[in-house]
Amino acid sequence: MYQFLTGFMFWVSVSIFFIGLFVRFIFYFTGLNWRLDRVAYKSYPFYGIKGALKSVFKWLFPFLTRVWRKHFFITIASFAFHVGAVIVPFFLLAHNVFIRGKLGIFHSIILNQLTADILSWLVVIGAVILTIRRIVLPQARILTRGYDYFILFLAVAPFITGLCARYEVGNYSFWLYSHIIFGEVFLIAAPFTKLSHLVLFFASRIQIGMDFEIKRGGMKSKNGMAW
Amino acid sequence: MYSGKLCSKEPVKTKEQLQALLKDTRGKTYYKEMQNLEVDTDLLWKTIQTTLNSRIKTWLEICSRCGICAESCFLYLANDKDPTQIPSYKIQSTLGEIIKRKGDVDNAFMQTAMETTWGKCTCCNRCAMYCPNGIDTGVMFSYLRGLLYQQGFVPLEMKIGAGMHRIYYAQMDITDEDFIDTFEWIVEEYEKDYQGLKVPVDVKNADIMYTVNAREVKYYPEDLAYAAILFNLAQENWTVTSKGWEETSLAMFAGDWEACKIQVKHVYEAMERLKPKRMIGTECGHAHRATVIEGPYWMGRKDGKPPVESIHYVEWVAEALRTGKLKINPEKRIKTPVTIQDSCNYVRNGGLKDITREIISYIVEPGYFVEMEPCGENNFCCGGGGGFNGIGIYRNHRNKGLTVKRDQIIKTGAKLVLAPCHNCWDAIRDLEEEFKIGIKWSFLKPLLIDMVEIPESMKPAS
Amino acid sequence: MFKTILLAASADHACDNAAKSAFRLADLTNAHITVFHVLGMPAHGFSQEVIDVKTGEKVEASEEYISWVKEEIKIYYAKQFEKTKSFDIKIAVGMPYREILREIKNGRYDIVTLGGTSKEKISVYKKHMLGSTVLRVAKASPIPVMVLCRPSSSFLKNISSILFCADFSKESDAAFNFAANLAKFFNCNLDIFNVADISPVFSKNIIEQDEIDSQISAAYKKIEEKYIPHTKNIIKTVANVCEGIPYVEIVKYAREKNSSLIVIAHHNKENENFGSNMEQIIVRSASPVISINK
Ligand code: SF4
Ligand code: SF4
């Protein structure tokens, strides 16, 4: 069982994850159409790139945009959640050891145990806050469907199971198996569900950045679009 | 498939049809017929398949349904934070649903969608600036307008407006003769006051070709005279065109993309015929959006630019004041608390925020200008954009929406609101009429006319 | 003298005096009269809803509504219509002064008659504009504009004299010709009157009496040269010059002489202080004022 999950399924899920997301990213851009979207994407590469970079960069860090400043709590919760969710899987020592076994690559940046723990907890806490927010705030409640909770669950499940395994709550191997399974489910699901925002977030931000910069006044105002 | 006499999937093609629609008071017959209008679901789905591309698809898919965009929408705020006014909710429950059902929707659904599309969104694009995922709900609603228009589910005034463009190449029933005639007539009225005042028609290779909003011709011809006076005072080499003089496009509000193209093509042809150095459009926001920002794409122009450089009136004013072509008498600068309404269509979607502030620095006595909060590209829609002002059945929605602008203005304490945009101007007028908050509002031209120095050579002969 | 008269009025009391004088004029000259009513501005954006000028209410400018308004006007002026040779009623949508000017431009009218300024309803759409309908029409109209705000006595009964206010400008010459023709037509007296303006006294500089006197004699001389030769066929022409504030003196003089009509030129010099003299005369005079600017 362990063999199957860490062997065959590992390869399958990782390939699906990377290839799938890559394909989605590429398809997003090949699917754009300057006439339908009414944006001259290719005619102004300088402004296009400038707008795209700014639009991504500003939103990638907390408090750089008006929204991030205005919605203080959700910004904190959201960044806590996302930062951990992106960093931990890549830089956790255990993952690294595992990957070395598989690929022979070992990268030098490794989280120490404490940081990893904190980040993981932040992910879980962030997820809890985001969930509560969805339940409590009317403007989030009306939009939220079961699917959204499901996606949140898919994202946080590997962390919960991972933490359980880490603290050896009850049956270690049960948690380990669950962790691996949920991790792989996540990887497989990513390209096909809303989890694809992992890359499509960037795609969409690049597009809107170009849109405003090239077409909607970016070239005319002093600083381009002020997000 | 059922097709009403007035309400059908067919766009207006003849003057008679236009007349029939105009005669239908409050669209009684029109909306009654709409009850029986069938949805051509195959056509709807086919259109979606050919026109919906990765951008909108992705937007609909990755919306994290976080509701952050809620407070960016003035209609959400105006309606006591009604959750059904959240941009994401509005678009997901209409366009999102249509796509989910592969176009299989019924009459009732389409009517609700119509209300949401024209009665709950002005396509101001403010939400686009506030969504972390870069989702522009305004753009999606504009797309949805096209789908609904194609199916005949469109408010009466929008149908009429688009029809006007198809027949008159203008948003109102004003012919080319009417236009020139009115312009010359009104300029004649002022020629006693300004020596040498004239309106050059169809002059080739001029520096400026001036385009207008048909409403000016019909209801505020003074505005034409003011434009002529200011161009003459600035000693510009300018001209108007006898064809293709209308810059606006109600067709854009209606989602009638074919009419949009017809209209803008007409204007571009005038540019190509007269070969002016620049085109300057009047103080209108959506006209600028239609002819300068979106128009090139309707015409398939790869560089996204009109055939000749085209600018908004405020850009010209700023330039004329900056270069001293127009001189302001410092004593006549505005000395009442004054604020400015930033038009979505050329500020948020056209980047002209700094330009209008520059104008203010010349015409307002320091210390009297107050910014709205928020302002610039963050400003709220005036409350009447996207056709909202004109649609009878959504009048109450619109009046409710005006409250946000009202409160913004009250907070500034300004007694005068500069509104260099026809839609904003109308909305603010209606706002004053509705709530009587004791403000005045104005385009730039009439204010400038009172403030500029008149060179000796143009002063009236005594 | 007049073939067609344009009466710009709404069917209510504010316009009664003007209407009466228009019908009287039509009567005297056997002219056709066109009653012209402007519904108001479209209230919202590009919709058809208008604010009725008379009631201030929002109405849809539908065909039914327009024919209803026409009917109202017919009833309101029923008595007068009985007596006129021929008449018609026209309705327009827009800013009143603008639509009146447009109608003047498009029609073949000899004179336009307008109601008072004082009672005009101030609706929101007017607030952004300075000046009243009357002054704006007077400024731009290519045909004579007749205005009356207060009940007129002599014009309606018996036309005895015409008062022409001279100021020797180009416009004033045109006004003189018109006044002289009227006097001939009505076979009545013509009073030529000029005021040496001393209103600057109230602002800063004192004017010496000598200077005033020389102004007055110069004015007499001008009248003598310019106008008197053209008054041969008029029963009696009297010239008079005095010093003072123009509108006060004019109104006073008209009252003394019991003038039936006042003819005055509207010209650009008043631009600075747009039409203040004119406006004062209109508001105060008990006789119809005819303004000429071309
Ligand atoms: S802010 Fe963006 S992602 Fe969030 S609900 Fe609104 S549209 Fe969706
Ligand atoms: S485009 Fe403007 S009106 Fe429409 S949903 Fe967005 S913020 Fe609201």
The residue whose CA has the least distance to atom 3 of ligand 2 is B121
Give the residue-averaged pLDDT of C172-201: 88
pLDDT given at position C124 = 42
Give the residue-averaged pLDDT of C147-176: 83
Say which of C45, C101, C269 has its CB closest to residue B384: C45
Q: What is the DSSP letter of B381?
A: P
- For residue B89, pLDDT over 50 is answered with yes
Question: What CATH code is carried by the domain that includes residue C63?
Answer: 3.40.50.620
DSSP H helical ranges for chain C? 16-29, 63-76, 78-83, 96-106, 124-127, 133-140, 154-157, 170-186, 209-226, 246-257, 276-284
- Are the Cβ atoms of B442 and C43 closer than 8 angstroms? no
Same domain, B171 and B302: yes
Same domain, B356 and B223: no
- Are the Cβ atoms of B460 and C268 closer than 8 angstroms? yes
Same domain, C160 and C254: yes
Q: How many domains does chain B have?
A: 3
**Is B456 within the bounds of a domain?**
no
Give A3→chain B minimum CA distance, Å: 35
pLDDT given at position C152 = 72
- Are the Cβ atoms of C127 and B440 closer than 8 angstroms? yes
Give C91→chain B minimum CA distance, Å: 15
Same domain, B321 and B334: no
Nearest 5°: CA angle at B186, between B180 and B189? 140
Q: List, for residues B336-365, the tens digit of each pLDDT value.
A: 999 999 999 999 999 999 999 999 999 999
Q: Give the whole-angstrom CA distance, residue B435 versus residue B410.
A: 11
Same domain, C168 and C286: yes
Cβ–Cβ contact A73 with B under 8 A: no
Which of C83, C114, C147 is the last residue in one of the domains? C147
A211 pLDDT band, cuts 50/70/90, is very high
B388: its two tokens: 């909202």
Same domain, B114 and B194: no
A212: its two tokens: 């405003």
- Cα dist from A8 to A14, A102, A161, B145, whole Å: 10, 11, 21, 49
* Most informative mutation of B76, B86, B88 for ligand 1 (most atoms within 8 A of CB): B88
Same domain, B43 and B98: yes
Least confident of A53-57, B408-412, C31-35, C254-258: C254-258
Give the atom of ligand 2 at the shortest distance from the alpha carbon of B126.
7
A134 to chain B: closest CA residue: B66
- Are the Cβ atoms of C94 and B218 closer than 8 angstroms? yes
| Residues with Cβ within 8 Å of residue B270, at least 6 apart in sequence | B209, B241, B243, B244, B245
Which of B154, B184, B219 is the last residue in one of the domains? B154
**Quick check: B455 and B332 in contact, CB under 8 A?**
no
For C193-213, give one letter per residue: b (16+ CB within 10 A) or e: bbbbbbeeeeeeeeeeeeebe
Cβ–Cβ contact B106 with C under 8 A: no
Same domain, C165 and C43: no
Preferred mutation among B181, B222, B229, B433 to probe C, highest tally of C CBs within 10 A: B433
Q: Which of B287, B269, B208 is nearest to B240 (CA)?
A: B208
**Is B75 within the bounds of a domain?**
yes
Q: Give the whole-angstrom CA distance, residue B398 versus residue B430.
A: 10
- Are the Cβ atoms of B430 and C94 closer than 8 angstroms? no
Q: Give the whole-angstrom CA distance, residue C58 versus residue B154.
A: 24
Q: List, for residues C187-245, the tens digit of each pLDDT value.
A: 999 999 998 887 765 556 677 888 888 889 999 999 999 899 988 888 899 999 998 88
Which of B154, B183, B210 is the last residue in one of the domains? B154
**Quick check: C42 and B219 in contact, CB under 8 A?**
yes
CB atoms within 10 A of CB C72: 16
Same domain, B284 and B367: no
Cβ–Cβ contact A226 with B under 8 A: yes
Q: What are phi and psi of B261, to 5 degrees?
A: -65, -45
Q: What are phi and psi of B340, to 5 degrees?
A: -130, 140
Helix (H, G, I), strand (E, B) or coil at B37: coil
Q: What are phi and psi of A200, to 5 degrees?
A: -70, -25
Ligand 1 pocket residue status of B63, Cβ below 6 Å? yes
Q: What is the DSSP letter of B246?
A: B
Question: Which ligand is in closest contact with the Cα of B385?
Answer: 2
Which of C78, C112, C147 is the last residue in one of the domains? C147
Same domain, C117 and C181: no
Same domain, B247 and B393: no
Q: Give the whole-angstrom CA distance, residue B19 versus residue B39.
A: 26
Which of B325, B352, B380 is the last residue in one of the domains? B325
A109: its two tokens: 């940046």
**Is B300 within the bounds of a domain?**
yes
Give the residue-averaged pLDDT of B435-457: 94
When the pLDDT of each residue in chain B is averaged and rounded to a whole number, the result is: 95
A35: its two tokens: 């006439």
Ligand 1 pocket residue status of B66, Cβ below 6 Å? yes
- For residue C272, pLDDT over 70 is answered with no
DSSP line for C252-266:
HHHHHHT-SEEEEE-
Give the residue-averaged pLDDT of B102-106: 96
Which of C95, C129, C147 is the last residue in one of the domains? C147
pLDDT given at position A105 = 75
- For residue B285, pLDDT over 60 is answered with yes
Ligand 2 pocket residue status of B87, Cβ below 6 Å? yes
Same domain, B435 and B347: yes
DSSP line for C44-87:
STTSSEEE-TTT--EEE--HHHHHHHHHHHHHHTHHHHHHSSEE
**Is B210 within the bounds of a domain?**
yes
Preferred mutation among B189, B336, B428, B436 to probe C, highest tally of C CBs within 10 A: B189
Helix (H, G, I), strand (E, B) or coil at B220: coil
Handedness of CA C277, C280, C284, C285 (dihedral sign): positive
pLDDT given at position B235 = 94
Same domain, B173 and B288: yes
Q: Looking at beta carbons, which residues of chain B come within 8 Å of A50? A: none
Q: Which of C176, A173, C94, A86 is nearest to B216 (CA)?
A: C94
**Quick check: B334 and B370 in contact, CB under 8 A?**
no
Question: What CATH code is carried by the domain that includes residue B104?
Answer: 1.10.1060
**Quick check: C127 and C20 in contact, CB under 8 A?**
no
Same domain, B319 and B342: no
Q: List, for residues A17-60, the tens digit of each pLDDT value.
A: 999 999 999 999 999 999 999 999 999 999 999 999 999 999 99
DSSP line for C90-118:
EEE-S-HHHHHHHHHHHS--SEEEE--ST
Same domain, C160 and C277: yes
* Higher-confidence position of A13 and A221: A13
Same domain, B338 and B392: yes
Same domain, C173 and C91: no
Q: Please state the separation of Cα B120 from the chain's center in Å.
A: 17
Same domain, C106 and C12: yes
Q: List, for residues A22-34, the tens digit of each pLDDT value.
A: 999 999 999 999 9
Same domain, C65 and C188: no
CB atoms within 10 A of CB A125: 14
**Quick check: A89 and A95 in contact, CB under 8 A?**
yes
Same domain, B53 and B111: yes
Domain housing B225: 166-325
Q: Give the whole-angstrom CA distance, residue B386 versus residue B138.
A: 10
**Quick check: B241 and B273 in contact, CB under 8 A?**
yes
**Is B15 within the bounds of a domain?**
no
Q: How many domains does chain C have?
A: 2
Same domain, C159 and C137: no
Q: List, for residues A80-139, the tens digit of each pLDDT value.
A: 999 999 999 888 888 888 888 887 777 777 888 899 999 999 999 999 999 999 999 999
- Are the Cβ atoms of B389 and C44 closer than 8 angstroms? yes
Q: List, for residues B204-214, the tens digit of each pLDDT value.
A: 999 999 999 99
- For residue C155, pLDDT over 90 is answered with no
- For residue B97, pLDDT over 90 is answered with yes
C14 pLDDT band, cuts 50/70/90, is low
Same domain, C279 and C176: yes
Give chains near B: 3+ CB pairs under 8 A: A, C
**Is B2 within the bounds of a domain?**
no
**Is B113 within the bounds of a domain?**
yes
Q: What are phi and psi of A122, to 5 degrees?
A: -60, -40
**Is B381 within the bounds of a domain?**
yes
Q: Which of B189, B250, B251, B175 is nearest to B217 (CA)?
A: B175
C130 pLDDT band, cuts 50/70/90, is very low
- Are the Cβ atoms of B250 and C46 closer than 8 angstroms? yes
Domain housing C36: 4-147
Question: What CATH code is carried by the domain that includes residue B191?
Answer: 3.40.50
B309 pLDDT band, cuts 50/70/90, is very high
pLDDT given at position C56 = 65
Say which of B134, B350, B377 has its CB closest to residue A207: B134
- For residue B392, pLDDT over 50 is answered with yes
- Are the Cβ atoms of C44 and B462 closer than 8 angstroms? no
Say which of C41, C44, C128 has its CB closest to residue B440: C128
Looking at residue A35, its amino acid is R
pLDDT given at position C200 = 64
- Ligand 2 centre to CA of B73 (Å) is 5
Backbone region of residue A185 per phi and psi (left: phi > 0; alpha: psi in -120 to 50; beta: other values): alpha
Cβ–Cβ contact A202 with B under 8 A: no
- Cα dist from B278 to B28, B289, B306, B312, whole Å: 45, 16, 10, 11
Q: List, for residues B150-191, the tens digit of each pLDDT value.
A: 999 999 999 999 999 999 999 998 999 999 999 999 998 898
Ligand 1 pocket residue status of B68, Cβ below 6 Å? yes
**Quick check: C28 and C89 in contact, CB under 8 A?**
no
Angle, helix A72-91 to helix A113-136, in steps of 10 degrees = 140
